Amino acid sequence: MYIHQLTNWPKFTWDSFKINKLLGEIRHLQGRLVGEMSSLGFKIQDEATLETLTEDVVKTSAIEGENLNKEQVRSSVAKRMGIDIGILLAADRHIEGIVAILLDATKDYDKLLTVDRLFDWHASLFPTGRSDIKKITVANWREKEAGAMQVVSGALGREKVHFEAPEYDKVPNEMENFINWFNLDTEIDLVLKAAIAHLWFLTVHPFEDGNGRIGRAIADMLLAKSEKCGQRFYSMSSQIQKDRKHYYLQLEKSQKGSLDITSWIEWFLECLKRAIEASDITLKSILQKAKFWKTHESISFNERQKKILNLMHDNFFGNLTSSKWAKICKCSQDTANRDISNLLGGNILQKEGPGGRSTSYKIV
């Protein structure tokens, strides 16, 4: 039986003895991270949030098999946060939509979760009313026409059903119960509540499509509330994407059998712990970047130079060559050579490689 078919659904239980130590470690890591970031000034906090939300948007979509343009995502987040990153790339409506959802969930974590708010998120996720080329019900719970909501794998005729959600006519009542519980102040630690909410929402599977992304936004909302901080300094979705196979296996296991979800909570907390620990890498990169611009604040860079130097601090892929500069900045080769020559003369860049066409450049 699926857990939503049990008579005592959704009265989840868990072994506090098994999870309390891990929960304590996570609460310590959260407090330390938020404390460290609050001492670094608003500009660096915004930069960290920009990088984290960019990663979160890209990875939460990657979990569903959708690859987004990272620079478009970053431009969309920067525009909505009012952060100057130089030239902004135009992002399609789908990217704008998912950025809007995550910002609303995390910045306004203290607002009530309502049916209308969830419908607004869903409409933002599917601005054309379609999932790929299929027309779907948008900004409403799934309807009879969608058929049974199943998670299926395998070739046609040999499908394996991993999970089947409650029937469509049960969704309104199921979601009313979920939303009431979500908004109610309980004695449950908010980090645990994030784990429970994610599993509960995905078990109800209220929408025809987009449940995973909205379910992860709901978890992020509770994590932000647990820290009393609307800025994000770690990406839970990045860690889930790295362990995507076990994520789905753990969900499937937890949605069958009993309502004891100790195993799911342990997995969620371990994943969260790794996400917070990984933030050290992002923070180190941001601090290096901030130090660079502080050191060279008296130099007047043009927009192309600012763009490339920012990209090089943001884990630039591969080696920087003059031809790559010209392609990224959409300028002529001569313009790229002049930009680079200027930075070489100012001891900002230095040459690498054997020379000639193979010459590449790195920041001094």
Same structural domain for residues 339 and 263?
no
Helices 262-295/303-313 angle, 10° precision = 140
Q: The domain spanning residue 347 has which CATH number?
A: 1.10.10.10
Parts of the chain with a pLDDT under 70: 87, 315-317, 354-357
Closest CA to 201 of 210, 59, 108, 329: 210
Q: Give the DSSP letter string of 89-127.
A: PP--HHHHHHHHHHHHHHHTTTSPP-HHHHHHHHHHH-T
Spatial contact of 40 and 33, defined as CB atoms under 8 Å apart: no
Given 253, 288, 323, which residue is the final one in a domain? 288
Is 295 inside a domain boundary?
Answer: no
The reported pTM is 0.82
Total structural domains in the chain? 2
Question: Residue 340's domain spans which residues?
Answer: 301-363
User: Where do runs of H (alpha helix) occur along the chain?
Assistant: 16-38, 42-63, 70-81, 93-107, 115-125, 171-183, 190-204, 211-227, 236-242, 244-254, 262-295, 303-313, 322-329, 333-345
For residues 208 and 212, give the distance between their C-alpha atoms in angstroms, rounded to a whole number: 11
Q: What is the pLDDT of residue 11?
A: 97
Same structural domain for residues 278 and 352?
no
Q: Give the DSSP letter string of 178-189.
A: HHHHHHS--SS-
Q: What is the pLDDT of residue 255?
A: 96
Same structural domain for residues 51 and 167?
yes
Give the tens place of pLDDT for each residue, 270-282. 999 999 999 877 7
Phi–psi pair at 228, nearest 5 degrees: 50, 45
Same structural domain for residues 26 and 166?
yes
Q: Provide the terminal-to-terminal Cα distance of the chain, rounded to the nearest Å.
A: 62
Cβ-Cβ contacts under 8 Å for 300 (sequence gap 6 or more): none
Is 186 inside a domain boundary?
Answer: yes
Tokens found for residue 90:
């135009």
